[in-house]
Amino acid sequence: MIKTKKSLWAAGLALLISIALLIATTFAWFTDSVTNSGNKIQAGNLSIALIQKTDTMSEAQKTAATEASIDTSGAYTDISDIEVPIFNYDKWEPGYTDYKVIGVKNTGTLALKYKLDIVANGDAGELADVIDVYVKTSNTPINDTKPASFDKLTGYTKAGTLAELMADNDGAAYGNLYPSTATETPKEAYVAIALHMDEAAGNEYQGASVGTTFDVKLVATQLNSEKDGFGNPDYDKDAEYPVFYNASADTDLSDIVNNPNTPVEITATEDMLNQKHFDVTGNVTMNLGSNTIHPNGLQITGTNINVKDGGKLTINAEANSGFTYTAGKLVADGLNSILTVNGGSYANSGAGSSEITASNGGTVYLNEGRFSTSGYQGHAVIAEAESVIYINGGSFSSSGAQSIVIYANGGTIKIDNIDSIIANGKRFGVANGGTILVSKEYSPSKPTSVAAGCKVTDNGDGYWLISQE
């Protein structure tokens, strides 16, 4: 019995020692790892260049090229950055022909389709009715000499009159181009253009002119070529060429700004009247100059514009003096809805109102312009929940009592530069988790004129952070 008890004690002691050793032991597990390094995501680049046969360049073009350090010694010269017209003759008469040869090069990494447009910058005028446009296209350089006369033009097709090509969006020439890395061809194309005044044009055209300048505009969009990640080559088949409009007083903007598949560029030739509030759901650029958009005959009242449903709107404008406003309230509403403003003068009024609003995930870029609001507790700029506003320039003011000029109500506002801020209240304010980042290059000192309940701290990355206390 005593021997059995000793054996049990010995076994128990051994078990305790084993447990102690087990506790002090680190388990070893079989492991393995494989690292695939150097992964890269880079967007493709759609890029084109416009070139011209050097011996068809005017002296003004060659001078501009020399001043820009562009080489003109070859058969063709890159004129993409030469702002001198290709066609600039002022002694037109029946039977006269002006002849130029230009080319298109794919300088990017994506396959593209191009269109050569002739776009009017205003009223075409009567002379454009009797100027015929002839074109010849080739995938190899057109290095033949200028024909001796119009009747010796061979291989040319009449694209229409100058007036017809100005009036619609039908191009004078089309084609597909592939990048230099592709096995497919062509990678460049050439177009000879002959403008010819109809021999039958009568005396009524003496002294007439094409009523405006016109642009030879080369546009391109994605070609249905590359495949997506599932092997589908048709994912970009709906890519459309940009469409260009000259907008006059009676143009209904709401009819042309809501086609998401077609980029639209609008150039205003005069003030646009009776434009009621409208939405933008397409990809739209408005070149307004000093022209305005308003709902009635009073330029002091601007038309409100709402960018929504993933729409994109870029406004290029000049600010008028006094109380002449480019447009009214501007809103970017919803994820992927983007508003960009490059100049102009904008105003809105009403208690609690804002001139520029980003809401529901919208994004706004303010690069230049004047933005103001009046009314009790109003704002020049407001970013609501999950929305972002980037301020890179411009002047901002709110004249109503207890107003906050720049207000982040749940959203984010990032300020890199501001020309001026005028406040009848506070300059900056945040609420509902909103934040404002103010560049130290713009404001080396800690921003002041901050609304109650807000604090300013050093964000540590070149910005002051305005947040709630």
pLDDT of residue 33: 47
| 112 within a domain of the structure (yes/no) | yes
Report the alpha-carbon angle 178-240-308, nearest 5: 130
Q: Is the pLDDT of residue 235 over 90?
A: no
Q: How many domains does the chain have?
A: 2
- Do the domain assignments include residue 32? no
397 versus 149: the higher-pLDDT residue is 397
Provide the pLDDT for residue 240: 65
Question: What is the reported pLDDT for 162?
Answer: 86
- 313's enclosing H/E stretch is strand 312-317
pLDDT tens profile 43-85: 556 788 888 999 889 899 999 999 989 999 999 999 888 888 8
Q: In residues, how long is the chain?
A: 469
Predicted TM-score of the model (pTM): 0.69
Segment among 177-191, 213-227, 279-293, 336-350 with least mean pLDDT: 213-227
pLDDT greater than 60 at residue 34: no
Question: Is there a single domain that holds both residue 296 and residue 214?
Answer: no
- Pair 174, 313 in one domain: no
pLDDT band for position 215 (50/70/90)?
confident
Q: Say yes or no: 254 and 168 in one domain.
A: no
The per-residue pLDDT for range 411-427, each reduced to its tens digit, is: 999 999 999 999 999 99
The continuous run of DSSP H or E covering 222 comes out as strand 214-222
* Residue 31 is assigned to a structural domain of this protein: no
- 187 in a structural domain: yes
Alpha helices in 80-199 (DSSP H): 162-167
305 domain residue, yes or no: yes
In whole numbers, what is the pLDDT of the chain averaged over residues? Answer: 84
Contact 465/458 with Cβ under 8 angstroms? yes
Cis-peptide, bond into residue 263, ω within 30° of zero: no
Q: Note the pLDDT tens digit of each residue in 279-319.
A: 999 999 999 999 999 888 766 788 999 999 999 999 999 98
Task: Say whether both 77 and 109 belong to one domain.
Answer: yes
Q: Which residue has the higher pLDDT, 123 or 376?
A: 376
pLDDT band at 211 (very low <50, low <70, confident <90, very high): low
Lowest pLDDT segment from 122-126, 151-155, 299-303, 389-393: 122-126
**Cα separations (Å) of 262 from 17, 167, 168, 180, 238?**
80, 18, 15, 27, 9
Kindly tell me the burial class for residue 224, based on how many C-beta atoms sit within 10 Å of its own C-beta (0-12, 13-18, 19 or more). middle
Q: Is residue 330 part of a domain?
A: yes
464 and 359 within one domain: yes
State whether 326 and 193 are in the same domain. Answer: no
| pLDDT exceeds 50 at position 38 | no
- CA distances to 308, 369, 391 from 414, rounded to whole Å, are 22, 17, 6
Domain final position from 222, 255, 285: 222
Whether residue 205 is found in the same domain as residue 119: yes
Domain boundaries, position 197: 48-222
> Do 173 and 278 sit in the same domain of this protein?
no
Is 237 domain-assigned? no
451 and 307 together in one domain: yes
Residue 217's beta-bridge partner residues?
Answer: 117
Residue 36's pLDDT band, with cuts at 50, 70 and 90, is very low
**pLDDT by residue (tens digit) across 92-144?**
889 998 888 888 888 888 888 888 888 776 666 788 888 899 998 888 888 76
Residues 81 and 213 in one domain: yes
Q: In terms of domains, do 367 and 461 share one?
A: yes
Contact (Cβ atoms closer than 8 angstroms) between residue 289 and residue 342: no
Q: Same structural domain for residues 215 and 249?
A: no
